[in-house]
Structure 1
Amino acid sequence: MATGNSSDQQQYQPHPVWTALLTKLLANLILDQVRKGNTANNSLSNKAWNFITNEFYTRSGIKRDKEHLKNRFAALRREFSVVKLILARDNFVFDESTGCIIAADESWDQYVKVLTFLTMLLHDLVFQSLYMFLLILQECPDAEAVRRGGCPVYKQLFEIFAVVHLEEEPVLPQRSYEYAAVKSRPSRGVEATIASAIVEMAAASRLRTNALTQMRSRFTLAECIRELDGIHGVAENVYFAALENFNNPSARETFLSLRSDMRLAWLQWKCT
Structure 2
Amino acid sequence: MDSQQGNPTPSLPQVVSSRKGKQVSSARPIRKAVWDSNKHTIFIDLCLEQVNKGERPSTHLTIKGWEAVLDGFESQTGVRYERNQLKNHWDNTKYSWKAWHELLNNTELGWDHQKATVIADDEFWTNFAKVFKDCP
- Give the counterpart letter for 2:77 in structure 1: S
TM-score normalized by the length of structure 2: 0.62
The equivalent of 2:123 in structure 1 is 113
Task: Give the aligned partner of residue 58 of structure 1.
Answer: 75
Using the TM superposition, give the Cα deviation of residue 44 of structure 1 relative to its aligned residue in structure 2, in angstroms.
1.2
Say which of 77, 85, 99 aligns to 1:82. 99
Q: 1:89 to 1:102 in 2, by over 3 A?
A: farther
Map residues 1-272 of structure 1 onto 2, 5 A cutoff: 17-90=34-107, 91-92=109-110, 102=116, 108-110=119-121, 112-118=122-128, 138-139=133-134, 141=135
Q: Which runs of 5+ in 2 are unaligned?
A: 1-30
Which structure has the highest helix share of the two?
A: 1
Aligned-pair CA distance for 1:137: 6.5
CA offsets per residue over residues 105-159 of structure 1, 9 Å max, x none? xx6242x42232346xx6xxxxxxxxxxxxx7641x56xxxxxxxxxxxxxxxxx
Structure 1 or 2: more strand by fraction = 2
Q: In 2, distance between residues paired with 1:15 and 1:115?
A: 31
Cα gap change, 1:61 to 1:85, in 2 (>3 Å)? same
- Name the aligned partner's letter for residue 65 of structure 1: E
Cα RMSD (Å): 2.8
Match of 1:207 in 2: none
Mean CA deviation greater in 54-63 or 38-47: 38-47
Count of aligned residue pairs for this structure pair? 103
Return the index of the structure with the highest Cα Rg: 1
| Deviation digits for residues 72-130 of structure 1 (CA, Å, limit 9, x no counterpart) | 1111011101111111223546x9xxxxx845xxx6242x42232346xx6xxxxxxxx
- Checking the alignment, whether the CA contact within 8 Å between 1:92 and 1:102 is kept in structure 2 is no
Higher relative CO (Cα under 8 Å, sequence separation at least 6) belongs to 1
State the AA in 2 paired with 1:85: E
Deviation digits for residues 7-63 of structure 1 (CA, Å, limit 9, x no counterpart): xxxxxxx85621000000000000000111112234311100011011101110011
